[in-house]
Amino acid sequence: MNTAETKAIVDNRPKAIGLVRNDISGLAAARHALEVRRHAEKLGYLYLYTVRPPTRVSDPVGYCLRIATAVQVAAVVVHDLTTVDHSPARTCEVCDLETVIPPETWARAATYPHGTHLSPVREVPTHTDVSPAFHPVAAETHAVLNALAALADPNVDARIIRTRPAEST
């Protein structure tokens, strides 16, 4: 086969790396690495590498996340949440987190334009007309939403916002 006839094989599966920490896994590190790889492959990921941070690294999770960002993986696979210091949210800022024990997926945090992680506050309606006689719980909920929307406005003094009418004495 010459080069013109050769076709590049493209693997469109999402990429994943594993994280195994020797300080956490101890003597089970080799077994954990194998379980992490098998779990990733079972889930359909293209498994690239098992990250084993050096013991001298002060932030092993950050070490792994820098690699995950550079390689642009879809997921980091770990044996359990102890590996990420029981903080899946940190990993989910970068990618999905998959755990072997228990088998769970922690989805990547949704991002919006300019790297914000929450929807813009302006999407909350600024005024909602609901009669308290119609449904008191709905009226209170909408009053709270209106107050939150008003708090987002820098021209509103937060000290004057009320969610309930002042009681008369």
152-165 residue pLDDT tens: 555 544 444 444 44
Task: Work out how many domains the chain is built from and give that number.
Answer: 1
Whether residue 90 is contained in a domain is answered as yes
Q: DSSP label at 155? A: T
Q: Is residue 98 part of a domain?
A: yes
CB 77 within 8 A of CB 100: yes
Q: What is the reported pLDDT for 114?
A: 52
- What's residue 30's pLDDT? 97
Task: Check residue 3 and give its pLDDT.
Answer: 54
Q: How far apart are CA 167 and CA 90, in angstroms?
A: 45
In this structure, what are the phi and psi dihedrals at residue 50, rounded to the nearest 5 degrees? -105, 115
pTM greater than 0.75: no
The CATH number for 62's domain is: 3.40.50.1390
Q: Is the pLDDT of residue 17 over 80?
A: yes
Query: In this structure, are residues 17 and 51 in contact, taking their beta carbons and an 8 Å threshold?
Result: yes
User: What pLDDT, on a 0 to 100 scale, did the predictor assign at position 117?
Assistant: 47
* Interval 88-129: pLDDT, tens: 999 999 999 999 999 999 999 876 555 544 433 334 344 444
Model pLDDT for residues 57-97, shown as the tens digit of each residue: 999 999 999 999 999 999 999 999 999 999 999 999 999 99
Assess if residue 114 is contained within a domain.
Answer: no
Q: Is residue 151 part of a domain?
A: no
6 — pLDDT class (breaks 50, 70, 90): low
101 lies in some domain: yes
Boundaries of domain holding 95: 15-106
Is 135 part of a structural domain of the chain? Answer: no
Per the domain annotation, does 130 fall within a domain? Answer: no
Taking CA atoms, 65 is separated from 3, 46, 84, 90, 148, in Å, by 37, 17, 10, 9, 34
Q: Do the domain assignments include residue 48?
A: yes
Query: How far is the CA of 51 from the CAs of 18, 32, 56, in angstroms?
Result: 6, 12, 14
Question: Can you tell me the distance from the alpha carbon of 122 to that of 63, in angstroms, rounded to the nearest whole number?
Answer: 36
* DSSP-based three-state secondary structure for 14: coil
- The pLDDT assigned to 11 comes to 85
